[in-house]
Chain A
C-alpha cells in the first residue's frame, strides 16, 4: 500500500477508530509476502478465478476460532486470572472478558459459543426476570463491542430454559450481533420450542436453523456454526477459507469440456496447495498456537482446526459455460442444474483426495464450504445458491434444488428466504417447511420478515437503517454494515423473492 493509502485510512470520515486500527493492521500485514505461490496460482488469482478471501498475506491467527467456552465455565482461565464462575454474574462477566481476547480474521470473535448449554447450569435459583435482565446486558455487550455480524451464538437441539430466555430477550433487543443458529433435530427438539424460535425469527431474523441430525456427524467432539454458516469443530475452528471463483474460471474455459478437464482440476489443485501453504505458515511460522492463551487454558487445540475449501458463483459459472440467455437459468433449467452437480462432484472428489496438512479433525482433508459471498462483488452469487431473480416459482422446488447440492458441503451451505410478515401468526407453516427440507437433507435455512429492519446478507445480519447511514458517508459501529451495504446493492438482495 502507498503512503497515500495509509493516509486515506487514517483520515477517513466513515470509519470508526477501531475500524481504522483494523484497516491499518491489514495494510501492515499485506506489506509482507511470506507465502510462496506458483505462477499458475497467480494466473488464476489475477483472472479472479480463485482468491484468498482477503485473509491477508501473512496469517498470524486462524480465520475462525470456536473456543470451548464450556471449558472456561468449568475451569476458569489461568491467563485471565479468573476462577471458574460460581453464579450467573460470574459467568456472563467472565465470558465477556474471554470474548475480548478471542481473535479471528476480523479481529473479533466469530463465535460466542453454545450459549444455552453454557448458561443453563447457572440459572438455578435465578428468576426469569433476573435472568433476562442479565442476558440483556450480556447480549448488548456483545452487540456493541464485538459489533461484527459474522459473530455467532448457537442453541439447541434440546429445549432449555436458557435457550427460551435467550430467544425472548433477542426478540426484544433486535440486535444484529450475535447471529443465532438453532441446531434443529426433529427427534430431539420439541415443536413448541421451534414455534418460539420461529416467531422470534420473524421478529428479529434470528435464529437460523441447522440440520443437526446431519451436522452432528461432521466432526468428533461437537461443532459450532459461525459467520456465514460455517460448520466448524468445537474447541478448534478453521485456519483459513479460500475459494474457487467459478465465474472467473468459466471465463478462462474454451468449452464445458475444457472447464471440466483442465481449468477445474488445475484451479482446485492450485487452491489446495495454496491452502496447505497458508496453514503451514500459521502452524509452523506464526507461533499462534505456541503463544495463544486459548491453547494454554484449554479452550482450543491445534488438532481441532481444519481448512475450508470454498466455492462461489455457481449460478454465473453455469450461465457462462452454457451460454444461457434470459429464458434459461441455473435453478430451473435441467441442463444447468445437471452441469452444476457434475462440477460439484468433481470438486468434491478432488478435494477429498487431497492430503490437507494439520487437518486431523477432518480426517486429513479440507472441508467444503459453499462460500456465501463477499462485500460488493458483482456477478458472484454466494456458493451454489440460485441467483436473485432466477428463483424457481414454487418455493418447494427452490428447496429441492438447494438440497440436491447441499450434500457436497460438510462445512456449511445455506439458503435465505424473506418471508411475509403474516408468517409470525403461523409458525407451524414455517416449521412444516423446515421439517420437510431437512427430511430431504437440506442442511441450513434462514428466514427474515420482508418488512423488518434486520436483513440477512450472505449469512450475516445487518440493519437496513445502519447500511443506509453508511451509504450516506456516516461512520457506523458494525463493519459488517460496510460489507452488507455493498453486497445488498451488488446482488440485488432487496429483490429476493419473498418466498413464504
Chain B
C-alpha cells in the first residue's frame, strides 16, 4: 500500500494529456523550476504560513494544528489563494492514497480511455504510481506518465511495466539552455529519452517553443539524433509558449510567431518524426 500523496487536482476529461479521453491526475510538488511553468502553484508543498487563509474571501480555508485546511464546499474557485501564495503552492490539496484516486478515476468509466498522471512532477511519487497503475491496468484503464524527465526511469522498471508509456518534456538540448530555463541540467532527460525509446515506452516528446528562453530547433535536432532509427515511431508535440498562468520573468514573454512554428514543424517532418503535432 502506498502512502497518501498530495493531489492538486483530478480532471475527469482532458483533451490534451495523451490519446483519447483521459482523466488527468495532477500531483503536487516539483523538483525543478521552469521559467515557463503554466501552473507554478503545483511546484511546492504548503508551508502553512496562513497568508491564503487570511486572504480567502469565501472563508473556505482555516489553519488547524499547523496545517491549512481547505473546505471544498465553501470554495468558489476564485483562485485568490493561488494569487496570494508566495511559495508556489496551493492550499487546495487533497491527500489521497492510490486506492482513493483509483476509486475516483474508475468512476469515470466507460468514458475515459486512460489516466495520465502529471504535476508538478508525478515521478516524485513512484510507489503511488506503481499501485495506481496496477489497479488501473486490472480495470482496463490505460495509464500514462507525464514527466519532466529529470528522474531516471531506468531505476523504475517495475513502474514502466504497468505504464503504457511516458510523455516527456525536452525543455532544451544543451545544458546551458536547460539551466537557463529550469535551474538544472538536462543530462537525465537525454538519458531517459534514449532509454524510453529503447524500451518502446516513449508515448510523446514535447518541446515548448519560446522566444529567447530555449533553443527549440536545437532540441528537435537533438531528439531526432538520439532517437536515431526510432524517430519514425515517435510523436513530437511542438507547443507554443503562452503566458497564461506563468509567473516571474516569463509572465510577459512573447509567444512565437506562426512562421516560426511552421518552420519548426517543417524541420521536424524533415527529420523524420512519425507524427508532429503543433499546439
Binding site for B on A (CB under 8 A): 394-396, 399, 420, 422-423, 425-426, 428-433, 435-437, 439-440, 500
Given contacts A432-B111, A432-B112, A432-B113, contact A422 B15 (CB under 8 A): yes
Q: Which residues of B contact A500 (CB under 8 A)?
A: 13, 15
Contacts of A395 in B (CB 8 A): 12-13, 111
Interface secondary structure of B, over-half rule: loop
Residues in A whose Cβ lies below 8 Å from that of B16:
422, 426
Given A395-B12, A395-B13, A422-B16: A429 and B108 interface contact (C-beta under 8 Å) = no
Q: Is the CB of B110 within 8 A of A439?
A: yes
Inter-subunit contact B21/A432 (CB<8 Å): yes
Q: Which residues of B contact A429 (CB under 8 A)?
A: 13-15, 20-22
Decide if A428 touches B111 in the complex (CB within 8 Å): no
Contact A422 B111 (CB under 8 A): no
Which of these, B108, B113, B279, contacts A425 with CB under 8 Å?
B279
Across the interface, name the chain B residue whose C-beta is closest to A429.
B21
Cβ contacts under 8 Å, A433 to chain B: 13, 21, 111
- Return B235 CB to nearest CB of chain A, in Å: 12
A439: chain B residues within 8 A (beta carbon): 110
Inter-chain contacts of B13 with A (CB < 8 A): 394-396, 429, 433, 500
Which residues of chain B come closer than 8 Å to A436, judged between CB atoms? 21, 109-112
Residues of B within 8 A of A425 (CB): 15, 277, 279
B16, closest chain A residue (CB): A422
Interface membership of B19, Cβ < 8 A: yes
B170 to chain A, nearest CB (A): 20
- 14 CB-based A-B contacts, threshold 8 Å: A394-B12, A396-B13, A399-B111, A422-B15, A425-B15, A428-B20, A429-B14, A429-B21, A429-B22, A431-B20, A432-B111, A432-B112, A433-B13, A439-B110
Q: Which residues of B (20-52) have their CB < 8 Å from a CB of A?
A: 20-22
Q: Which residues of A contact B21 (CB under 8 A)?
A: 428-430, 432-433, 436
Q: Are A432 and B15 in contact (CB under 8 A)?
A: no
Residues of A with C-beta under 8 A to B109? 436
Instruction: Determine which residue in B12, B110, B279 has the highest number of CB atoms from chain A within 10 A of its CB, and name it.
Output: B110
The total number of A-B Cβ pairs within 8 Å is: 54
Task: Please indicate the chain A residues that have their CB under 8 angstroms from the CB of B19 in the complex.
Answer: 426, 428
In the complex, residue of chain A having the shortest beta-carbon distance to the beta carbon of B109:
A436
User: Nearest CB to that of A422 among chain B residues?
Assistant: B15
Query: Cα distance A123–B89 when bound, in Å?
Result: 61
Q: Which residue of chain A lies nearest to B19 when distances are taken between CB atoms in the complex?
A: A428
Q: Mark B112-137, 1 if CB is under 8 A from A, else 0.
A: 11000000000000000000000000
Q: How far is the CA of A429 from the CA of B13 in the complex (A)?
A: 9
Contact at A432–B12, with CB atoms within 8 Å? no
B115 CB, nearest partner CB in chain A, Å: 13
Which residues in B have their C-beta under 8 angstroms from that of A426?
A: 15-16, 19-20
- Once the chains bind, are A440 and B110 in contact (CB under 8 Å)? yes
How distant is the Cα of A394 from the Cα of B111 in the complex, in angstroms? 11
Q: A425–B108 Cα gap in the complex (Å)? A: 22
Distance of A394 from chain B, by nearest CB (Å): 5
B20 touches A420 (CB 8 A): no
Q: Which residue of B lies closest to A430 (CB)?
A: B21
Chain B residues near A431: list those with CB within 8 A.
Answer: 20
- Residue of B12, B15, B110 ringed by the most chain A CB atoms within 10 A: B15
> Bound state CA distance, A91 and B22, in angstroms?
45
Q: Are B12 and A396 in contact (CB under 8 A)?
A: yes
Extra A-B contacts (12), CB below 8 Å, given A396-B13, A500-B15 = A395-B12, A396-B12, A420-B15, A425-B15, A425-B277, A426-B15, A429-B15, A429-B20, A430-B21, A432-B113, A436-B109, A439-B110
Cβ of A432 and Cβ of B20 under 8 Å apart? yes
B271 → chain A closest CB, angstroms = 21
Chain A proximity mask over B153-175: 1 for CB below 8 Å, otherwise 0: 00000000000000000000000
Q: What are the 5 closest A-B residue pairs judged by CB atoms, nearest first?
A: A432-B21, A436-B111, A436-B110, A428-B20, A429-B21
Collect the chain B residues with CB atoms within 8 Å of residue A396's CB. Answer: 12-13, 108, 111
Q: Chain B: which residue is nearest A395 at the CB level?
A: B13
> Complex Cα distance A418/B22, Å?
18
Alpha-carbon gap, A419 to B277, bound state (A): 20
Q: Scan residues 94-111 of chain B and give those whose CB is less than 8 A from a CB of chain A.
A: 108-111
Which of A394, A399, A422 makes the CB contact (< 8 A) with B279? A422
**Nearest CB on A from B254, distance (A):** 21
Beta-carbon nearest neighbor of A426 in chain B: B15
Bound form: Cα–Cα A214–B279 in Å: 37
State A432–B114 Cα separation when bound (angstroms): 10
Closest chain-A Cβ to B272's Cβ sits at a distance in Å of 21
For B277, what are the chain A residues with a Cβ–Cβ distance below 8 Å?
Answer: 425
Residue of B nearest to A399 (CB): B111
CA distance A428 to B114 in the complex (A): 12
In the assembly, what is the distance between CA of A230 and CA of B174, in Å? Answer: 61
Q: How far is the CA of A437 from the CA of B21 in the complex (A)?
A: 13
CB neighbours (8 Å) of B22 from chain A are: 429
Q: How far is the CA of A395 from the CA of B112 in the complex (A)?
A: 11
Report the minimum CB–CB distance from B132 to chain A (whole Å): 20
Q: What are the residues of chain B within 8 A of A420 when measuring CB–CB?
A: 15
Residues of B within 8 A of A428 (CB): 19-21, 113
B99 CB to nearest A CB, Å: 20
Q: How far is the CA of A430 from the CA of B12 in the complex (A)?
A: 13
Distance A432 CA – B12 CA, assembled complex (angstroms) = 13
